Amino acid sequence: MSMAEIERFAADLKSNEALRAEAEKAQADKSHATQMARAVAFAAGKGYAFTVDEAKAHAKARGKAAGKELTDAELDGVAGGRCVDPDINSFGQGR
């Protein structure tokens, strides 16, 4: 169920410019330790239900599918459809 939620969030981010802008703005809130935690908290506030660990697993799977192995630091940098590697993102497609 949560992987479906992540995919739904990804699709909504891709298709909804206002949601994407809100997600990017939410990254300025430093009350969560990592970008991933901020993205998951933002998603939860919008009614999506998945955990940081689930989002990391999703990002890792997307990276592997694209032929990239993401480090723990890169996984922590994935958020709101963004990643330290611009060819991979956690909640949508690669560039």
What pLDDT does residue 78 have? 59
Confidence category of residue 83, pLDDT binned at 50, 70, 90 = very low
Domain boundary assignment for the chain: 2-77
For the chain, the three-class secondary structure string (H helix, E strand, C coil) is CHHHHHHHHHHHHHHCHHHHHHHHHHCCCCCCCCHHHHHHHHHHHCCCCCCHHHHHHHHHHHHHHCCCCCCHHHHHHCECCECCCCCCCCCCCCC
What pLDDT, in 10s, does the model give residues 57-80?
Answer: 888 888 888 787 767 666 666 554
Mean model confidence pLDDT for the chain: 78
What pLDDT, in 10s, does the model give residues 24-70?
Answer: 888 888 888 788 889 999 999 999 999 999 998 888 888 888 787 76
What pLDDT does residue 64 have? 82
Report yes or no on whether pTM surpasses 0.85: no
